[in-house]
Structure 1
Amino acid sequence: MMVDYPQIASSWLKQFGNFLESGDVASTVSCIHAGGYLRDILVFTWNNRCLHGHSKTAAYLGDTLAAAAIAEVKPDLRAGLAPEYGPLTDHLPLRAVSGGFTFTCAVGLGRGYFSLVYANGEWKALVVMLKLEDIRGHEEIAWSDVRTGRREDIEANPQVLIIGGGQTGLNVAARFKRMGINSLVVETNHRIGDNWRKRYPTLALHSPRKMNSMLYQSYPRTWPVFTPRDKMAGCLEQYVQSQDLVVWTNSRPLPHPTYDVAAKHWTVVVDRAGERVTLTPAHIVVAAGVLGAPRMPNIRDKALFCGTTLHSSEYHGGKSFAGKRVVVVGAGNTAADLSQDLTFHGARSVTMVQRSGTWVVSGSSMRILMERMYPEELEVDVCDLMTMARPLELMRRVDKATEAQMMEQEKETHRGLREAGFNITSGKGFLVLFYEKHSGFWLDFGCAELIRSGQVTVKQGVEIARFTEDSVVFTDGSSLEADVVVFATSYESICDTMRGVFGDSIMDQVGPVWGVDGEGELRGCYRPTGHPGLWFAAGEFYQSRAFSKQLVGGFSLLCS
């Protein structure tokens, strides 16, 4: 079938735009496939929503469309957003006409993206996403026009206090600066980037550089595809200078901040390198990641063990464990990295303890997928927009539909792992495991071959029940001599860790942070948490780039 995709996109968008502008709910919904999705990022409400099917979409728009005052719907013809015709995903035969658009709404300017599929003789939107791009009066301003102000003014009276100076906190701070919102970042480490420097030396990002760009600052073409630990640390430290951010290192909020409902601000005491400073920000953004304090299992007779036990967060490289018998508890990304690093540095033996199943895909396969999502020729914000326009619920269905194809693609890797006693899980792909659990998977960059060759052995389906002086005893009664036990057992929820800062009375009002709700939207991140003035920012680089602006929408006219 010959497809005049520019005409199809233009005709559909004109019709859809007219219906939006006229406030005609039924006609607007008719432009969407019966099984399609409407994703709303702060256009119709001060929240992120994803509606599936005509009835839910109509009910939602019936309450919100008129007040949104959509107008001036126009195609966005930037590279990557001009109409295109091709497969909806790499693995599905379903083809779609996709493109971007711009519009105005009651509170500012918006951008959108659609994917149209052909059904019953008509082109309908399988997905249409509308997001608030700029709040009127708080538009991003060009760097040359940024009001430098005085650092002392920001430090004395920040509008927003950001807890955490990693990539998420810095992306959020850079976004706020461009939107004219004064923010102060507090970081517990002595230097920005120490959250990377303190980890094992061979650590590198598992996703390509384009996906891991910082806001307003892309990497040079000579940058490694997978960014090493120390380069990432140095990049973050330099980012503070190049973006002119206000950061206090060696600083942390003290228990317990209080919130004045009438005045709509916090009172929080910050320990700044031993000096106590009282601040009254309107908002606090916790950008310390989705993971909180290290989780160490309580195992019987640990005090009897004459060897070394440590959490993976305390692991600084395998060099000091050369010649040692090492047990790594866990079978996710970190456990795989550590097992590979220990083998490289000459550990006498490395045993990975796997309690349940793990989803494994080769790093090369995932690199191909990620580089298709973030090709070098497109701007990062264009790639972010298109990524945002793919509801997680839809991607779950894609994962399920393409599971057999993925398993076939990885069959040699999986066969070798299974033969070595490793449990490969199925039924949930990387995206689902990442967003629902933030665990249960690894991207393979060599550990699978070490397991297949016997250089790393697997103890599967058990946990450590107790220690002896020189061994660990498992729940099945077997034992293993060991000199070192490394617990790659993840971390507690950031909500639990923050109870030590905010107290139970505040945190009891906060819903879950991370995981997904019934519409497939992230819970608790970049959206209302349940307590006024308290927000969480977490996830990969994409989330903090794409959704940091949405925080300001949630602030709801913060500076007015």
Structure 2
Amino acid sequence: MTLDPTEIASSWLQSYAAFLTSGDVKGAVSCLQDTSFLRDFLVFTWNNRTLHGHEEITTYLANNLAHASVADFELDTRPGLLPEIDGLNTRMVSSVANTVSAGFTFGCKVGKGQGYFFLVPTDAGEWKAISVMMQLADISGHEEWIQEEGAHEGHTLSWTDVNRERRETIEKDPYVLIVGAGHNGLNAAARFKHLNIPSLVVESNVRIGDNWRKRYPTLHLHVPKYYCELLYHPYPASWPLYIPRDKIADWLEHYAQAEDLVVWTNSRPLPGPTYDRTSGRWTVVIDRGGKHVTLNPAHIVMAAGALGAPNIPVMENRDAFDGPIVHCADYQGGKPFAGKRVVVVGAGNTSADLCQDLSFHGAESVTMVQRSSTMVVPITLVENEMERWFRDTKTDTTDFLLMAKPIPLMQKMAEQNETSLVEQLKEYYQSLREAGFKLVTNKGLFTIFYAAYGGYFYDVGCVDLIRSGKVKVKQGVEIARLEKNSVIFTDGSTIEADAIVLATSFRSIRDSLRGIFGDSVIDQTSPVWGLDHEGELRGIYRPSGHPGLWFAAGEFYTSRSRTKQLALEIKAVQLGLLKL
């Protein structure tokens, strides 16, 4: 029998909406499978939550449904959100058959909402949701705008004068101070601007984009460009699929200018910001190119990413080593290492890139120190998956569809496909194991990425070097101590070396900020990155634990999609709807 996804979706939504609008929690939960997920972004509480199973969802709705005042549910008619069959499968392979999915809109107490659901049939033939996501889209009267008219006061004022006055007003009294002008900070600033939240960005580098320009020369995006767009500005169609370092850097600089964002470069907050809980304002001193400027923002958004200072492992007798020891943050290419025996500590994306670069530039030997285990995925598989998500759909629609899938659900779906993935890559993985490389194959990529912001690499050539022996693997050990021309490992083995490159990632930004805010402030905040007990990302784009202090971190998709939540939370504080 041919399924009609619109009829199925409409019937289910009609029942679910009737129960919610009448306050019937038991009825609403009856529309969900026993092991279903409810993902909430600011509809029922001013936070993001994922509830799993009837018991958790029932308790959550019982406590929060009444004051949310949800109503006026309708199926979404926008392209990409219409009811469809196997919507769960077409964007991420799943063993669940006959899925019907659809977007919907609704009203709530403070504004308009949008949502998405995935339905599967029960044994009795009844359609129930395996997952429902509900999200606050806009606060009434304060909707996100995309473009302004541009003709000011009937063409009597020039844009130059208007823009200068706007900048001066923000510089004098920013409502939000954003620290960091990478993609996280700039996405946040652009989103704030489009919700009329005055924000000032401070960047420690001399130029916007220097955080990319200072990295290793062969750095490219490790995923296709359409996954890595900034808000409102897609990359040029003619640009490479995997955009190189310097083009990203220049694009960030261009983006700030194109979006008319207010950014102070060569600027940083000095230690000792204080927060007045009565006024709800910070006092923070900014070193702006040597000049000290005192600001009183209501909010500080730390947008330096999840990563702080370079993570330098302890190596006994370090000063005895005769060669250079370089962290990946300072690595500027493989040419200086030609003819040298190089040890690279780490086995993630950066390590794979650097090992490949060192080999290409004629290092006598390259040894990758793999301290634990790593997930490896050929770049072609990554590209195929990203293309399925983004190629034929608007970026904001795809972001919404990805947000509709709770992280625990994505983890379960990935785990269901691990057996077929391992079988597909059987020979590829076997050759890596034979070279001494320890693989992770019993966890999904989402689990690894969200847990530690690392632990994997997308293969763009390093695997062939490992299999051929051009890059050797030293597995399951740490560097214990150093001698003049040798590295001694924790298992007692030794290899000769002329240089050491540390692809050992970075410390948590939260720990790095103790020198700015002090322990008393940082100890009140949640860890940044990793998953909480509900499977939501900890500490970013949601209340941190300290009023007026927020963290913005993650890769381009996370930054782009989650800044709306952050902007709505801050707007709610500004409007008196939310008290931190």
Q: Do the two structures share a fold, i.e. TM-score over 0.5?
A: yes
- Partner of 1:150, secondary structure, is helix
- Name the residue aligned to 2:32: 32
Q: Counterpart in 1 of 2:60?
A: 60
TM-score by structure 1 length? 0.98
The answer to whether the 8 Å contact 1:552/1:558 transfers is: no
Which residue does 1:246 correspond to in 2?
262
Structure 2 unaligned regions, length at least 5:
151-161, 576-580
Cα deviation code 1:182-241 (max 9, x no counterpart)? 000011111011000001111011111111010001112212111110110011000001
Distance 2:190 2:88 in 1: 33
Change (3 A) 1:389 1:87: closer
Rounded Cα–Cα distance in structure 1 between residues aligned with 2:534 and 2:500: 41
Q: Which residue number corresponds to residue 143 of structure 1? A: 147
Aligned 1:303-322 pairs, distance under 5 A = 303-322=319-338
1:276 corresponding residue in structure 2? 292
Counterpart check, 1:166 vs 2:182? yes
Runs of 5+ consecutive residues of structure 1 not aligned to the other structure? none
Q: Give per-residue Cα distances to partners, 1:536-560, cap 9 Å, x unaligned.
A: 0111111111111111332262333
Q: What percentage of aligned pairs have identical amino acids?
A: 56
Q: Distance in 1 between matches of 2:570 and 2:94?
A: 39
Give yes or no for the alignment of 1:426 onto 2:435.
no
CA contact (8 A) 2:72 2:106 kept: yes
Cα distance in 2, alignment partners of residues 53 and 230 from structure 1: 47
2:557 equivalent to 1:553: no
Tell me, in whole angstroms, the C-alpha distance in 1 between the residues paired with 2:571 and 2:79.
32
User: What is the CA deviation profile of residues 413-439 of structure 1, one whole-angstrom value per residue up to 9, with x for unaligned ones?
Assistant: 211111111111222121111101112
| CA positional deviation for 1:349 | 0.9
Instruction: Tell me by how many angstroms 1:175 deviates.
Output: 0.2
SS in 1 for 2:367: strand
1:211 aligns with 2:239: no
Query: 99, 105, 127: which one pairs with 1:102?
Result: 105
CA–CA distance in structure 2, aligned partners of residues 234 and 410 of structure 1: 37
What's the Cα RMSD here?
Answer: 1.3
Structure 1 residue 39: Cα displacement = 0.3
Q: Which residue of 1 aligns with 2:95?
A: 93
| Matches of 1:421 and 1:142, distance apart in 2 | 53
Runs in 1 of length 4+ with deviation above 4 angstroms? 145-149
Q: What residue in structure 2 maps to residue 228 of structure 1?
A: 244
Contact 1:46/1:556 (<8 A) preserved: no
What is the aligned partner in structure 2 of residue 127 from structure 1?
A: 131
1:347 counterpart = 2:349 = no
Deviations 1:286-314 (A, max 9, x none): 11001110010121111111101011111
Name the count of aligned residue pairs: 559
Q: Secondary structure at the match of 1:88?
A: helix
- Give the letter for the 1:218 counterpart: P
Return the alpha-carbon distance in structure 2 between the equivalents of residues 174 and 92 of structure 1.
35
Is the CA contact 1:46–1:553 (under 8 Å) kept in the aligned structure 2? no
CA distance in 2, matches of 1:46, 1:91: 32
> Secondary structure, in 3 states, of the residue corresponding to 2:148?
helix
- Corresponding residue number in structure 1 for 2:69: 69
| Corresponding residue to 1:263 among 273, 279, 296 | 279
Task: Summarize the alignment of residues 187-202 of structure 1 with structure 2, pairs less than 5 Å apart.
Answer: 187-202=203-218
- Residue 398 of structure 2 aligns to a residue whose secondary structure is helix
Cα distance in 1 between the residues matched to 2:442 and 2:149 = 51
Contact 1:40–1:49 at 8 Å: present in 2 too? yes
Shift of 1:25: 1.1
Alpha-carbon distance in structure 2 between the residues aligned to 1:287 and 1:277? 20
Q: Distance in 2 between matches of 1:553 and 1:144?
A: 20
- What per-residue deviation string (whole Å, max 9, x for no partner) do you get for residues 74-114 of structure 1? 11121110111026234323131111111111111111111
Matched with 1:501 is: 516
* Partner Cα distance (1:390, 1:150) in 2: 39
Summarize deviations over 1:231-266 as a string: whole Å, max 9, x none.
Answer: 100110000011000000111000010000000010
Offset of residue 41 of structure 1: 0.4
Aligned mates of 2:523, 2:128 — CA distance in 1: 43
**Is the aligned partner of 1:19 residue 2:22?**
no
Instruction: Read off the aligned partner of 1:93 and give its amino acid letter.
Output: S
Partner Cα distance (1:507, 1:91) in 2: 40
| 1:517 and 2:532 are equivalent in the alignment | yes
| Of 357, 363, 385, the match for 1:369 | 385
